[in-house]
Chains A and B, each alone.
Chain A
Amino acid sequence: MTDTPLFTYTLRLADNALVLGHRLSEWCGHAPMLEEDLALANMALDCIGQARNFYTYAGEIEGKGRTEDDLAYLRDCDGFRNILLVERPRGDFAFTILRQFFYAAFMHPYFERLSASKDERLASIAAKAVKEMAYHLRHSAEWVIRLGDGTEESAARLAEALVDLWPFTGEMFEVDETERALIEAGVAVDPAALRPLWLETVDRVFADALLARPQDGWMQTGGRRGEHSEHLGHLLADLQFMQRAYPGSTW
């Protein structure tokens, strides 16, 4: 690996946003109601927009002429640096909402801090993303409350999603050598420092949703190092098909 820490860091931010954006986009035309179909597609477009900005910057940092499209469409699974949480299959509506809540409750304060980064490009991308994540957090949190305190079925589905998703939340807060130096230089955000705030948000919403926060047990890890579940491959097959089958095609 000859990638610079700043390249890897920017790529991680981009990959998280692209993969989650794709998962949200899978609801387009399939959501339980028209209103939510549009809401999920809106959030998907926010994520994909963030990914584009980060990819473009990553390509410039790398300096090998790779564009946002090259980075999104022409890397294989082991080149992706997203956390495992975002590549989990879309699941049912409760699963998608709870994942979005966990992610937004983390990324909203994260982008707030990143908007004060010493790296001006990262700061400006984050400043735009903060407003988007504020809405994702508001929307998903309100749904978590209504599903948890809703019908017997909605509560059961949400509880099941929680069991599935909780072990994937730990990876958001990991700090490795790649990021440590950037954090100390004031370029990157220290995710571990955000955990108390994240737990506070989760506890506040769970109290209204009548959900109990699980005990912390073993957490899944690996995505940020390029070790992914089989689900990412299927996602990329979908996402990258056109560029792989018809290289360079545009419309």
Chain B
Amino acid sequence: MTEKNMPLWEVFIRSRTGLSHRHAGSLHAPDAEMALQAARDVYTRRGEGLSIWVVPSSAITASDPSDKDALFEPTASKIYRHPTFYEVPDEVGHM
């Protein structure tokens, strides 16, 4: 099984309880249709899913771990961004 014939895919499942698709894991498949079917067989065996996305792993651009400080450190001192200073009305529902 070569990477050329069986590239890696990332699988996202929208569960019965969840609102958005969440990363479930990855798998090998020859193309998008087979990746969807494999995702169904590998990641929705216990009735977890309502919807599946598959994305070629090569299409993902990831942040560099060594950029961690530059990317994330500046937010640490901005506690006013946390929504803890006001009450969310019940009617708003999920935010």
Which residues of A are interface residues toward B (Cβ below 8 A)? 32-36, 38-39, 42, 135, 138-139, 142-143, 146, 150-151
Measured CA separation A35–B28 after assembly (Å)? 7
Q: Is the interface of A mostly helix, strand, loop or mixed?
A: helix
Q: Chain B, interface size: which category?
A: 10 to 19
A38 touches B42 (CB 8 A): yes
Measured CA separation A33–B45 after assembly (Å)? 17
CB distance from A120 to the nearest CB of B (A): 27
Which of B29, B38, B45 has most chain A Cβ within 10 Å? B38
Partner of B37, one of A32, A33, A142, A150: A142
B24 lies within 8 A of chain A by Cβ: no
Which of A34, A35, A146 has most chain B Cβ within 10 Å? A35
Chain B residue with Cβ nearest A40:
B41
B30 touches A139 (CB 8 A): no
Q: Is the interface of B mostly helix, strand, loop or mixed?
A: mixed
Query: Within residues 13 to 50 of chain B, which ones have a CB less than 8 A from any CB in chain A?
Result: 27-31, 33-34, 37-38, 40-42, 45
How many pairs, one residue from A and one from B, have CB atoms within 8 Å of each other in the complex? 36
CB distance from A183 to the nearest CB of B (A): 34
A142 touches B38 (CB 8 A): no
CB distance from A38 to the nearest CB of B (A): 5
CB distance from B76 to the nearest CB of A (A): 40
Measured CA separation A38–B6 after assembly (Å)? 17
Q: 28 A–B contact pairs at CB < 8 A?
A: A32-B1, A33-B1, A33-B6, A33-B28, A34-B27, A34-B42, A35-B27, A35-B28, A35-B29, A35-B38, A35-B41, A35-B42, A36-B38, A38-B38, A38-B41, A38-B42, A39-B41, A42-B41, A42-B45, A135-B40, A138-B37, A139-B37, A142-B33, A142-B34, A143-B34, A146-B30, A146-B31, A150-B5
Measured CA separation A135–B30 after assembly (Å)? 18
Measured CA separation A36–B40 after assembly (Å)? 11
CB distance from B3 to the nearest CB of A (A): 13
B45 touches A38 (CB 8 A): yes
CB distance from A246 to the nearest CB of B (A): 30
